[in-house]
Structure 1
Amino acid sequence: MNAPHPFYANAYDYDLVGLTQGSLFPSLKRAKLFGELVANHAGIIYLGQNAFLGAQDDFREFEFRFITERGRHLVVMFTGSDIRSPEVMREIEERTGRPNIATYLSATAGSAGGREHERVLKVTADRAVQYADAIVTASVDQAGYLPQGTEPFRYFFPDEDVGSDLSKFDSGSPRVVLHAPSSPILKGTPLVRAAVDSLRAEGLEFEYVELTGASHEQVQAELERAHIVLNQFYAYVPGVFGVEAMAAGAVMLTSADENIEPDLPRGSNEAWVVTQHFEVERKLRELLLADAADLSAQAARGQKWVREHAVASVSSQAMRELLDRIENR
């Protein structure tokens, strides 16, 4: 672990921050651990774009070469904007007519989409292609400079945390609508707020909860109460929060769409309510007026999707099969 996660407090086998804290030679400590890990394992999986040895200007070429020259396997998994190109995503927006994360990325990260940013993404992709035995990503949602033939991105949600109790839909109390954006502009929060205000003006009764920058524990507590979750409206995949929402038995509105993102399993659109950015108010109104039995049935489909495609046991088996194929080449 390079730094504490802003939302999760998970334990890791190695805390690189703690490992080097107070050390006169922090880079040597990292290098020693890196060498030991490479020597004692058949391969290394990199998550994201960061180098293990800290800040470098070679885009991990030394590390990747060190690993592969010693006969070890290398898998690189990208998670989003570490490989997503605003320039390429704008081309997708023009082709599909649907705005995406890159549409508003420059409003939240000023350097995003500039020449230097695109150069970094190109070289990052080139290094992965040059050295990795396999690359894991979402081919359209995280489109950039990777070639075709990548492996589908996978979620590793704890099996035991997928709920089954949907009795909250039997309550006669007002329905709870939750929105918990990690980045309000990129997740479509202005659209959500406008929809909520409009529906309240119509006289619809519901409880709206919005969480920004909240801990995972806070979000999870609200998910347990939520009947409807407004996820994100510029993405083509459900994201980690979307998986958490469905696992908790909430009906999810999101722009994730298997017709645009081919890496999603067929039938995924049945697990959530596909909602484009201009449909938030209409789709939310329909759910607020729907029968409790219909909402419960939709929530059950979401939980089923998580169990079949997004839990740790399923994703671990898929990754193991991928690693076996690599070793047996």
Structure 2
Amino acid sequence: MKLNNDKMRFFLGFTDTCGVYRSVEQSLLSQGHRAYFLNLGNDLREKSYDNPFVPRLFRRTYDYAHCEAEGSTNFRSYFAQLAYKAAMIILAIWVAVCFDVLLIKSGAGLTRSRFELRVARAFGRKIIFSYHGSDSRPFYLGYTAERENYPEKIRELESFRNYLQKSEELADIVIDSPSSAHLHMKQCCLRQVIFNPAPLDSFPDQKIDYSESKPLRLLHAPSDPLLKGTDVIRRAVLELKSKGYIFEFREVNGVSNEQVIEELLASDIVVDEMYSDNYAGIFALEGLTARKVVVVGGYAFEHLDEYVPDWARAPTARTRPEKLVELLESLLCDHKLRQLYRSRADAYIKTVVCPAKVVKRLVTLAGGEAPSEWFFDPKSIEYIGGAAAPMEEIEENIAQVYKVNGAQSFSMEDKMNLQKILVNRASKN
């Protein structure tokens, strides 16, 4: 189904992740499209418009019903649930009538049946489900805290896979990454092409400084030190200092976003994370927006390069975790190399992830005019390096999962080549 690309109307819901969907909404509005993001989670970004009556009514009944649900099952609770269901019907009709495209994070609706999305589909609206990693990746390809619960986790994985695949029946388009879309069956649009709006709101009143500090300043600001590989970064810093390199290193966490941004602007090299499965996460993208050299570690880059067009690859300085010291040595010693990364960041922010470009690509996708290079088949995925954990831990996860119920434990029966790779890796452990 093709849509009029001039003034497309987008509804976004129902939760955000690091401000991505609020940024998309603002980008759409800035380019003259109608857009409304109904965020039922925490929303730290101030809205610059008045909420329409229908979502305002729904939000009030939503909050009222959830508040009453925590109390006893009395008449007030019954009435709250009744009012909530009525408001949901009104909201579903409002969305279906007023918008052309529904962009839904993780394919999650308001109800188990996703009634509101089915209403929109009945009205002929286009539905796009977008995924961001942990909402589509099998658990054994990530950090696993409780290995003794593997049998239960495997049962949950099978249910989760069935849920995702049934979700695809509702969606016209699925957005995901070749490094995390293992459980999908339907052709996916590359997340690297669509979901990378420059976080311009992070620097509303700040002037970007292109000069370097003396000595150079390195920054690491982990949201979760365990998942970001902070220990690897600390060891690298100590090794570099033992070799005689002179630089300042700042590690900050548990502080306000404003303080993190201040540290970011005062730094020269940003060491983001060591176990990423993407070229750049949100903080790395903020670093690029500030025209800093951004270091990202992980195992997925070669795999991603097989799918993602050159222009859509965020220009971070990429490395495997075990080669971090080598990369940092190069960056500390080579001013021209640092300037090269800065200039690439500048070009990327101006020509790829500025709001106008992001909106143009999203509208092209929703309008059914996206080129074939924007898509990939999940059945071709061969990546098993996971995210948020060292390779040794991922391999141990794979081996332990295989012990429970053999190849069937992986829930990859529809991807026999990937299943074979997993079995071979499990057999080596």
Specify the alignment match of 1:150 in structure 2: 188
Are residues 148 and 110 of structure 1, via their aligned partners in 2, closer, same or farther at CA, if it must alter by over 3 Å?
A: farther
For the 8 Å contact 1:251–1:298, the answer to whether it is kept is yes
Q: How far, CA to CA, are the matches of 2:293 and 2:120 in structure 1?
A: 44
| Structure 2 residue identity aligned to 1:260 | H
For the 8 Å contact 2:127–2:171, the answer to whether it is kept is yes
Specify the alignment match of 2:362 in structure 1: 319
Match of 2:169 among 130, 135, 142: 130
Q: How far, CA to CA, are the matches of 1:186 and 1:110 in structure 2?
A: 20
Once the two structures are superposed, what CA deviation does each residue of 1:117-170 show, in whole Å capped at 9, x if it has no partner?
413431332133211111111122x2321136211112122568699955322x
Match of 1:177 among 218, 224, 228: 218
**Superposition pairs of residues 1-329 of structure 1, within 5 angstroms:** 1-5=39-43, 8-11=44-47, 13=51, 20-22=62-64, 24-25=80-81, 27-28=84-85, 29-53=87-111, 56=112, 58=113, 60=114, 62-87=115-140, 89=141, 102=142, 105-107=143-145, 114-140=153-179, 142-147=180-185, 149-153=187-191, 154-158=195-199, 165-169=208-212, 171=213, 173-237=214-278, 238-255=280-297, 258-261=301-304, 262-266=306-310, 271-291=315-335, 293-325=336-368
1:325 aligned counterpart, secondary structure: coil
Are residues 287 and 276 of structure 1, via their aligned partners in 2, closer, same or farther at CA, if it must alter by over 3 Å?
A: same
Are residues 268 and 34 of structure 1, via their aligned partners in 2, closer, same or farther at CA, if it must alter by over 3 Å?
A: closer
Q: CA RMSD for the aligned pairs?
A: 3.2
Once the two structures are superposed, what CA deviation does each residue of 1:93-138 show, in whole Å capped at 9, x if it has no partner?
xxxxxxxxx1xx1138997992244134313321332111111111
Are residues 33 and 281 of structure 1, via their aligned partners in 2, closer, same or farther at CA, if it must alter by over 3 Å?
A: same
Are residues 31 and 177 of structure 1, via their aligned partners in 2, closer, same or farther at CA, if it must alter by over 3 Å?
A: farther
For the 8 Å contact 2:199–2:286, the answer to whether it is kept is no
Q: Identity percentage over the alignment?
A: 19
Are residues 51 and 144 of structure 1, via their aligned partners in 2, closer, same or farther at CA, if it must alter by over 3 Å?
A: same
Unmatched 5+ residue regions in structure 1? 90-101
Q: How far, CA to CA, are the matches of 2:351 and 2:207 in structure 1?
A: 14
Once the two structures are superposed, what CA deviation does each residue of 1:214-269 show, in whole Å capped at 9, x if it has no partner?
33322222111111111122223111111111111111111366531144331666
1:234 aligned counterpart, secondary structure: strand
Unmatched 5+ residue regions in structure 2? 1-38, 66-79, 371-429
Larger Rg: 2
For the 8 Å contact 1:74–1:131, the answer to whether it is kept is yes
Range with bigger deviation, 245-254 or 40-49: 40-49
Are residues 110 and 72 of structure 1, via their aligned partners in 2, closer, same or farther at CA, if it must alter by over 3 Å?
A: farther
Are residues 267 and 156 of structure 1, via their aligned partners in 2, closer, same or farther at CA, if it must alter by over 3 Å?
A: closer
For the 8 Å contact 1:136–1:151, the answer to whether it is kept is yes
For the 8 Å contact 1:3–1:17, the answer to whether it is kept is no
| Structure 2 residue identity aligned to 1:228 | I
1:45 aligned counterpart, secondary structure: strand
Are residues 145 and 246 of structure 1, via their aligned partners in 2, closer, same or farther at CA, if it must alter by over 3 Å?
A: same
TM-score (norm 1): 0.79
Q: CA deviation at 1:211?
A: 2.5
For the 8 Å contact 2:220–2:270, the answer to whether it is kept is yes
Q: CA deviation at 1:18?
A: 5.7
Q: CA deviation at 1:78?
A: 0.8
Are residues 31 and 205 of structure 1, via their aligned partners in 2, closer, same or farther at CA, if it must alter by over 3 Å?
A: farther
Are residues 68 and 270 of structure 1, via their aligned partners in 2, closer, same or farther at CA, if it must alter by over 3 Å?
A: closer
Q: How far, CA to CA, are the matches of 1:45 and 1:109 in structure 2?
A: 35
TM-score (norm 2): 0.62
For the 8 Å contact 1:166–1:296, the answer to whether it is kept is no
1:254 aligned counterpart, secondary structure: strand
| Structure 2 residue identity aligned to 1:119 | E
Are residues 217 and 310 of structure 1, via their aligned partners in 2, closer, same or farther at CA, if it must alter by over 3 Å?
A: same
Are residues 308 and 149 of structure 1, via their aligned partners in 2, closer, same or farther at CA, if it must alter by over 3 Å?
A: farther
Are residues 280 and 268 of structure 1, via their aligned partners in 2, closer, same or farther at CA, if it must alter by over 3 Å?
A: farther
Q: CA deviation at 1:202?
A: 2.9
